[in-house]
Amino acid sequence: MSEIKFSKPEKDILINKLQQYFERELNQDIGQFDADFLLDFFSKEMGGYFYNKGLEDAQKVLAEKVEQINDAIYEIEKPTSFVR
């Protein structure tokens, strides 16, 4: 898996969310540099878990859609004397 990277606008939003969380939940101010450092840590050390969970969820959705397509194809199949 390649490194998880965010665009500058995305990273700014995430850093802001971290700062707000620290202020709201921990009553602590966290500076831009510290929040950026923490975000990098989360991305490197935990990002893969979230990424893999997203892929797993996507695979489930895709499998459900493929099953729906298979059902739709089966419904339009014409009866024949040939048995599979």
What's CA 26's distance to the chain center, in Å?
26
What are the tens digits of pLDDT across the range 7-43? 999 999 999 999 999 999 999 999 999 999 999 999 9
DSSP for the chain, written as a single string? -PPP---HHHHHHHHHHHHHHHHHHH-----HHHHHHHHHHHHHHTHHHHHHHHHHHHHHHHHHHHHHHHHHHHHHPPP-S---
Predicted pLDDT at 3? 81
Tokens of residue 30, six digits: 């966290």
> For the chain, which residues make up each domain, given as ranges?
8-76
pLDDT band at 1; cut points 50, 70, 90: low
Assess whether pLDDT exceeds 80 at residue 75.
yes
- The whole-model pTM stands at 0.73
